Amino acid sequence: MKLLVTGATGRLGSKVVETLLKKVPSEDLVVSVRNPEKAEGLKVHGVEVRQGNFDDPESMTKAFTGIDRLLMISADGDNDTRIRQHTDTVKAAENAGVKFIAYTSIVNAQETTNFLAPTHKATEAAILKTGIPYSFLRNNWYLENELSSIQAVSQGAPWVTSAGNGKVGWALQQDYAEAAAAVLAGDGHENTIYELSGPLMTMEALAQTVGTVLGKEVTVLQVDDAAYAEAMKQAGVPEFIIPMLVDIQKDIREGTLEVESQGFEQLLGRPVTPIKEAVSQLIKQNS
């Protein structure tokens, strides 16, 4: 049984591979990466490294040849680019005879108005069209996405947000990685959808949790989107990134990530890492 993970040198992919190496023999594990040189460390563990570029469908077909179960980790980029890349990659998996596709999607993918949703709607549809057994891992938000805010408040800055009272199901990438590994290496996951969310909480509640972990009072500034954009500009965030950050705040405010689930418990056999512990781990890892 050959298992393949795309994007295996990325932040999520590397954690998935690390988890899989504890579950399956290394000779059963294959990774597809744009730059194989970055995956040299995996070869030492007996993992087969294949070159695969989402912008080159032929390279993906070649990378997927002989693969039984595929974990397709969504790429970075704008929606139009990702839809093209993902659709071509799904076709490559079909052409290569892959027998199962797990895909990292977004919570409530088919109904949400989240600005990232078009990519995931299109990719899920493309996978369904193939008729290949699938599992959609509908991920909520990575706690790591808030690292810059956590680091800022640790240095005495306020927590600035325009997310209002919108709630998010934050969880560590490690929890998402372990869930994905469980599906890829496990049985009984054909034609399933897992909504993966931590306990729902507001941005203000998260900031308070960070303050508790740091042992300091955290001031939360609730502002409008324009003021948030200006705050990000003053903080030195590159201007081309700011519209995306504003969209994230807007989507949280509008409740697009307010999705409750028991998916983590189903796949991990344990609750998701408690938020206070997760924040503490994140701070220690990045201190």
Q: Which of 263, 268, 258 is nearest to 135 (CA)?
A: 263
Comparing 3-139 with 141-170+197-259+273-287, is the CATH topology the same?
A: no
Report the SS3 class of residue 249: helix
CA 269 vs. chain centroid, Å, equals 20
- Rounded (5°) CA angle 108-111-112: 70
Annotated domain spans of the chain: 3-139, 141-170+197-259+273-287
| Phi and psi at residue 47, to the nearest 5° | -85, 135
Kindly report the CATH number that applies to the domain delimited by 141-170+197-259+273-287.
Answer: 3.90.25.10
CATH of domain 3-139: 3.40.50.720
Q: Which residues contact 62 (CB under 8 A, 6 or more apart)?
A: 50, 52, 96
Q: What is the pLDDT along the chain (287 residues), one digit of tens a residue?
A: 999 999 999 999 999 999 999 999 999 999 999 999 999 899 989 999 999 999 999 999 999 999 999 999 999 989 999 999 999 999 999 999 999 999 999 999 999 999 999 999 999 999 999 999 999 999 999 999 999 999 999 999 999 999 999 999 999 999 999 999 999 999 999 999 999 999 999 999 999 999 999 999 999 999 999 999 999 999 999 999 999 999 999 999 999 999 999 999 999 999 999 999 999 999 999 98
Q: What is the reported pTM? A: 0.96
177: enclosing H helix or E strand: helix 173-185
**Alpha-carbon span 7 to 33, nearest angstrom:** 5
Give me the DSSP letters along 91-105.
HHHHHHT-SEEEEEE
